[in-house]
Amino acid sequence: MGEAVQYEVRGRIAYITLDRPGKKNALNRAMRKEVQDAFTDVKFNPEIWIAILTGNGDTFCSGKDLFESIPPGTERGEVMSNDELYLFQRNTYKPFIVALNGPCLAQGGGFALNADIVIMSERASIGWPQVKRGISSVSGPCFLPHAVPWNIAMGYLMRGRFISAEEAYRLGLANEVVPHEKLLETAERWAREILENAPLAVHAIKEAGRRGLEVPVDTRVYMARDVANRLLSGEDAVEGVRAFREKRKPQWKGR
């Protein structure tokens, strides 16, 4: 438990909850450090197989805290920037489920578009309002045009308009839209369904998919094969085939 982020691990699932509701979960330096610590534990803790990221209050994340003033010389690189946080999330090859409890704005949109599964409350939305503040965005133009057609992305980004939960589902940005009170329950259902499968195989699927997005198809195929081959001699691969032959549910060890 931190001051700006709640963090706990239960049943192989890491629960990360942004917890500055009075500030609309705006990301200040202290919160970034706590998110960084949580993301780092997710990546390197072998007891964690999947993560759920959500927020407390009526907003998932309003983006960067524009009212925070950091004195010059106090940033020494030990705390990740907002951009570095969602890139770290993107390149952690464990599944991230983002459960959007409300508006998900600016850098918050970076968390959503770099997640693997997005569950949205009917009250949620995604948007990049920077143009209304006279500033530009990183996560919006970097990721939204690769998730939806160019003209659709620009239509939202250039006007600073929000994408409603229903529209996000129609555009393929959300896996499911649910009544607000069923948000975490739904995210946990998706997590449990993923946890039924061999964790290293799930992580390999994400790794091959993420790394393959930016390379030519022939390189993508060879890379995915290398990732898949790493698993063949592992305990879970042996157990999976044995359980299939014996017509029983496999017992995964993450090895």
> Based on the domain organization, do 117 and 239 belong to the same domain?
no
Q: Answer whether residue 22 is part of any domain.
A: yes
> Is the domain of 92 the same as that of 161?
yes
Number of domains in the chain: 2
- pLDDT(206) > 70: yes
Sign of CA dihedral 189, 194, 195, 197: positive
Crossing angle between the packed helical segments 199-212 and 217-231, to the nearest 10 degrees? 160
Q: What is the CATH number of the domain that holds 146?
A: 3.90.226.10
Residue 197 confidence class, pLDDT cut points 50, 70, 90: very high
Residue ranges making up the domain that contains 73: 5-195
Among the listed ranges 40-54, 216-230, 231-245, which one has the minimum average pLDDT value?
216-230
Which tens digits make up the pLDDT trace of 158-167? 999 999 999 9
- The model carries a pTM of 0.89
Query: In 179-198, which positions are buried (b, 16+ CB within 10 angstroms) versus exposed (e)?
Result: eeeebbebbbebbeebbeeb
CA distance 163 to 124: 9
